[in-house]
Structure 1
Amino acid sequence: MDEGNDPVNGEKSKCKNCTCTCTDRYLREFLEDNTIAGISHVFKGQSKVRRSFWALIFIAAIISCIALISLSIQIFLNKPTASTINVITLNGVPFPSVTICNINFEKNEALPLLSRTYNLMNQLFNADESFHSNSMNASSVISNCRNTVPRNNSDATFEATIWNIQRPARSKRRLIHYCGFVTGVNSNVSNCKSLFQPVLTPAGICFNYNGSSNTIHSTGTRYGMKLVLNIEQDLRPSYNGKAGVILSVHDGKDVARPNVNGINVAPGQAIDVGVNLKEYIDETKEANCTAGQDLVFFEDYDYSQYACAQDALIKQIAKPNVCNCTLLPRRPSNGEYDHTPNCTFPTSCCLLNEYKTINTEEQCPLPCRYRYYDYTTSYASYPNSFILEDLMRDENVTEDYLRKNYLSINIYINDLRYSVVTTSYTFGVAGLLGDIGGQLGLFIGVSIITFFEVLILCLDELKRICCPDFVINKCKNMKKKGESSDIVAGERETRRQIQRKAWSNDSL
């Protein structure tokens, strides 16, 4: 092409006798080789009507594509979630941890102050009808505690620890009348009474059996744990009008929480508790959950919100400027709390105050993954028939005593299947990219390669605008090379024609 106007962008040619630089070579090459559907028809159509028609189609496709991509982005920003349940069949299910708590504290006729303080602690930790009818709150309970407990007393009893006052070894021996455990069809009954260990909870000192090391291979009421308990109401009167025990069934790596999810079992009752193992996993972290934190006083347990709260409470109580004592007999192996003294009776008011004031919701987020046991219960009267006669004969007590003090608990596995509930995003980054790519490909045929083509075009155009002389000189050089190659090609063709003519003369 000779000197003239650029047919693409209308710019005047900046050089004379240049065929390749008189047009926007980069844009022309892009229109010829790009993968965007329809754009070549817009610029290279045979008539204005045809080009206009293709332009309308192309613009409509772009608008539709942008609208659907905007909808996909809006769905992504809303972060939709869904929960899926996977049921896994196991050869055996780990038996849960079982914690039992006698509702009432032991009466001590020799030290009425102890009974009075036990009553105050019970009213604070276990709100009931008596608590509400007396219009008591945490502040009034603490005030009564300070009036009840003498500040200075030389009696050695007041220097006893909370554990020694409640005498857990004696209480366990008298509370658990019988404990039997069966793991499967061919297993023998093993005595599990000695395996219960004292554990401190807001409901007082309870007794825990960690059965996670035992695997149950059979389902139904015949297998699992059978407990017969004696609450001894004559020695442990009710402060709130209730009698019986609180039963908590939980994972072996979790802290017992009888005051939160406990099952109340009254004397004269038999309860069957069927449990199912479940696990919850939150992959979204929408609830600001955490993978876990270090627990100083509960280092052998998995992280849970309740365990974190109890750990924070005990750490607060153990500080020298607060109560300067620890509630647990087992301290951390090292650190600032390894030599903290035990909490004694005079510190009970301080303990009550810290239970009232501490707030652990912010520093104890929910775990993103935790295991738990769901359960179903059924009740019946107890004892009856032959069991009643055997207990009356063996314990030398009346039927009225048995019905007021004895109860039965049977814990078994309902199902050998393990349920995992997983909450996850239904439309994540991969889904968004796939949606955007699908819309671009459907409407205008754009792919990742197209973006690189456009990028290279922009760079070439930027080079043409910023360095026009460089582009013109390069084009001239390309033209000269083209002319030189044409001359060489012509000479070659001439030589070939002369050679063919000579061959033909020789043949003649």
Structure 2
Amino acid sequence: MENGNRTYPHKHGPNTVSGDWVQQEADSVPAMNTASYRDRVSWWAVFYKSVPNAIGIGGMKYAFNSSEVKWRRLFWLLLILVAFCLLLYHVTNRAQYLATYPTSVDIYTNYTDVLTFPTVAFCNYNAYRHSMVAGTELEAFLNGIMFDSSFILNASSTYASFLDSVTMSDLFIEYGHRAEQSIINGRWRSSETLDHTNFTLKITDWGLCFVFNDADSGDPPLTVNRPGKEQGLELGLNVEQYESFIDSTARYSTGFQVLLYDYGTEPLITDQGFAIAPGTHTHVGVEVTETSNLEPPYGLCQDKALKYFNNYGYPECFIECRSDYFYNACGCKFFALPMVTNDEECTVLDYFLCGGEHWEGFVKNHTCDCPVPCHVRSYKPSISNTAYPSAYVESRYSSLFSFPDGFMQDNFCLISIFFKEISIQQVTQNVDYNFFSFLCDMGGSLGLWLGGSILTFFELLDLFGNSIYIHSKRAPNVRK
């Protein structure tokens, strides 16, 4: 429009610029290189922008939301950091506990209809009968080393022909107490009468023993279906104090060493037995315990393979270890090792010369690798005593059998062995805390402190992976 000589441009809407002007301005701007998307937007920005919706943790949507006011974001961020520290402490504590391989023990009583009666070994404290060794070379030799420790060096030549011709097992059997003289009478389950033929002879670490319900006899194990003395073993024994003989191997007490052990296993009489004395009636109530232990790393048990025994147990392992020690030292078999090897047993000369020399070294310095068995059945005795016999019984028997005064109290003893109840106490070692328990604790900690779960870890991994993928693969929208 014209007004006089002046010309005015056409008006457009308020605050607008004509398209021609914009185009001219655009054309006047020099061309610029367009930066790629990954250069203009950092990975951290992609990660930060995705956090509120990618991880299901309470408070994330406030702490990482740029539209929220600063103090609110700071408050929630602080809460999340504190909760994360508590979570880290809890998880670390549980991880350390898991690393200790913790266990627990369950104890319960299993009532059964039938129980296997234990094998019972009876061993006289006196090794050799005086009437058998009196006037023999054995008496002179044993008495000599009893009072002079160096006697063995001189005696080795004086008694060499005798000492080198017999073994310790020969001495125990030939000069030891006889079963028919030691076992006076007996009853099994109040109905079956027993005598010496119901017992087997066994050479043990103690010496010669009489064994009842022995697997070596070839008979099946005896069983009991009711508790009480009427269903057990009652045995009268003669200590034969009048046959006592003192020597360096003798024990200065009188009586019998008794051991209850599982049928089919080996005994350690010296370490595990209990004693009964003449002039007493010993009442032995038995409780059965079965123990199940865990293997490493949670426990220490191991059913180790043995050379001389089919089944593993501590007594079998110790007997084998001791026998191997003396075999390596002396070149012959220790007398307590059962006849399961063709190795020649040590003679009496070997036993006292070589065995005596190395015995102290074995006891003090040698350690047997005998781990805890994984399964053990044991028979725990509860022992009480009464005087035996009564004055009346002794007077009657003394007159009947022409015993001298005090003979029965000095020589006879009575023992009753029975189950207190027909049950087995089961002791089982269990894994108390495993990796699954650890995962459950982790999930509980996440839920308690952060409102998350185990899946939160996978959400976090997904967030990292997805943000990296978006940052590396997403192309910019370039305007042409």
TM-score range for the pair, normalised by the shorter chain length:
0.7 to 0.9
Measure, in 1, the Cα distance between the counterparts of 2:93 and 2:123: 56
Equivalent position to 2:239, from 201, 216, 231: 231
**Cα RMSD (Å) of the superposition?**
3.6
Equivalent position to 1:180, from 184, 187, 194: 187
Task: Determine if contact 2:183/2:195 at 8 Å carries over to the other structure.
Answer: no
**Post-superposition CA distance 1:150-207 (Å, at most 9, x none):** 376334x75123222222696222211223211xxxx732426323222223322222
* SS of residue matched to 1:445: coil
Measure, in 2, the Cα distance between the counterparts of 1:21 and 1:347: 88
Measure, in 1, the Cα distance between the counterparts of 2:358 and 2:272: 22
Structure of greater Rg: 2
Q: Which residue of 2 aligns with 1:58?
A: 80
Measure, in 2, the Cα distance between the counterparts of 1:302 and 1:179: 33
Task: Determine if contact 2:200/2:214 at 8 Å carries over to the other structure.
Answer: no
* SS of residue matched to 2:106: strand
Which 10-residue stretch deviates more, 401-410 or 46-55? 46-55
Q: How far apart are residue 276 of structure 1 and its match? A: 0.3
Q: Which residue of 1 aligns with 2:301?
A: 290
Q: Which residue of 1 aligns with 2:411?
A: 405
Measure, in 1, the Cα distance between the counterparts of 2:310 and 2:183: 26
Written as runs of structure 1 = structure 2, the 5 A alignment for 1:489-504 is: none
Q: How far apart are residue 379 of structure 1 and its match? A: 0.8
Residues 286 and 372 (structure 1 numbering): CA distance in 2 closer, same or farther, change over 3 Å?
A: farther
Task: Determine if contact 1:219/1:413 at 8 Å carries over to the other structure.
Answer: yes
Task: Determine if contact 2:295/2:302 at 8 Å carries over to the other structure.
Answer: no
Q: How far apart are residue 264 of structure 1 and its match? A: 1.7
State yes or no: 1:346 paired with 2:371: no
Equivalent position to 1:356, from 352, 355, 360: 360
Measure, in 2, the Cα distance between the counterparts of 1:23 and 1:153: 95
Written as runs of structure 1 = structure 2, the 5 A alignment for 1:67-78 is: 67-77=89-99
Q: Which residue of 1 aligns with 2:197?
A: 194
Written as runs of structure 1 = structure 2, the 5 A alignment for 1:109-508 is: 109-114=134-139, 116-117=141-142, 143-150=150-157, 153-155=160-162, 158-167=164-173, 171-182=178-189, 188-191=191-194, 193-210=196-213, 213-237=221-245, 239-283=250-294, 289-297=300-308, 299-304=309-314, 306-319=315-328, 322-327=330-335, 330-332=338-340, 337-338=341-342, 340-349=343-352, 350-358=354-362, 359-384=365-390, 388=394, 391-392=397-398, 395-463=401-469, 468=472, 471-473=473-475
**Post-superposition CA distance 1:317-362 (Å, at most 9, x none):** 334x623245258533xxxx52x22332222212333433225535
Q: Which residue of 2 aligns with 1:31?
A: 52
Equivalent position amino acid for 1:60 in 2: V
Which 10-residue stretch deviates more, 166-175 or 248-257? 166-175
Equivalent position amino acid for 1:218 in 2: R
Measure, in 2, the Cα distance between the counterparts of 1:419 and 1:56: 55
Structure 1 gap ranges (5+): 1-12, 124-133, 135-139, 481-508
Structure 2 gap ranges (5+): 1-33, 216-220
Equivalent position amino acid for 2:179 in 1: K
* SS of residue matched to 2:71: helix
- Identical aligned pairs, as a percentage? 20
Task: Determine if contact 1:284/1:425 at 8 Å carries over to the other structure.
Answer: no
- Normalising by structure 2, what TM-score? 0.77
Number of residue pairs matched by the alignment: 430
Task: Determine if contact 2:200/2:210 at 8 Å carries over to the other structure.
Answer: yes
Measure, in 2, the Cα distance between the counterparts of 1:176 and 1:23: 93
